[in-house]
Amino acid sequence: MFGQNFLVDEQIIADIVRAIRPEANDTMVEIGPGLGALTRPLLKQLNKLHVVEIDRDIIARLKTDYPQDKIVIHEGDALKFDLAELPTPLRIVGNLPYNISSPLLFHFAAYAPHITDMHFMLQNEVVERMVAAPSTPAYGRLSVMLQYRFYMEKLLDVPPQSFRPAPKVDSAIVRMIPLPADKIVVKNETLFAQIVSSAFGQRRKTLRNTLKPYLNESEFEQLGINAQLRAENLGVDEFASIANYLNKRVAIADNTITFTPTPYLRASTSSA
């Protein structure tokens, strides 16, 4: 069964369901139901539960172990599942596969306007990165790319012995709530993602070096950002300020970002 680790700790399961607070009419989607640790208690409180599962053996169990008028099975890869097919607003839960947790988080983030909240079990290290504050060791690209769109909170730790078989890492539960549209200050998400990726691409280098293709010294000063800082020292709002500034001179053509360089950028490119 894809080498999965299945949650078996009844107290942890009860704590998770209590944190989720399912309501009967919620449109809830469970990602990777596994052996039903969350599926069973959720179904007790929901009129209907959508589940996304790729494992054929588990799908066969889902079809025989649960009332089919209460469970809707979506067979396939969660990374390719179109949440727009479901009634909104959505609530998403699941024990995400640790090896593809970041791609899944970004996939679900694309549907943020249609989501009420998300509760996921992830590797603790990933959760710590998600909720990390600037200038802390765990703060990085994942922190910025999720925090600009979600309010996030680590809810509880889940030790290895809560699973069978026990994984070699600690786990944790995180709650993600999409920020209201008026709280999202990023004007161009594609450009924002590119800036964040470039800044953290060589995280030990200063912004003067990592963002050299985008900003000159005077522009850093204009934005009130110290070019001697590293990416890990900037908050989400500062990254947004950089991206929004650059958005004034960016053109989108065929989904490819093409910058209109300033004279400084043109000169620095020719001398490279």
The tally of CA atoms less than 13 A away on the side-chain side of residue 43 is: 18
Tell me the torsion sign for CA atoms 127, 130, 132, 137. Answer: positive
Q: Which residue has the tokens 């139901």?
A: 33
Rounded distance between C-alpha atoms, residue 259 and residue 252, angstroms: 9
Rounded distance between C-alpha atoms, residue 214 and residue 195, angstroms: 9
Q: At 79, which amino acid appears?
A: L
Domains and CATH numbers, the chain: 6-182 (3.40.50.150), 189-271 (1.10.8.100)
pLDDT of residue 250: 63
73, two tokens: 């099975």
Above 60 in pLDDT, residue 260? no
pLDDT tens readout for residues 169-200 = 999 999 999 999 999 989 999 999 999 999 99
Rounded distance between C-alpha atoms, residue 96 and residue 233, angstroms: 29
pLDDT tens readout for residues 112-154 = 999 999 999 999 999 999 999 999 999 999 999 999 999 999 9
Can you give the pTM of this predicted structure?
Answer: 0.88
pLDDT tens readout for residues 25-67 = 999 999 999 999 999 999 999 999 999 999 999 999 999 999 9
Nearest residue to 232 via CA among 195, 204, 192: 204
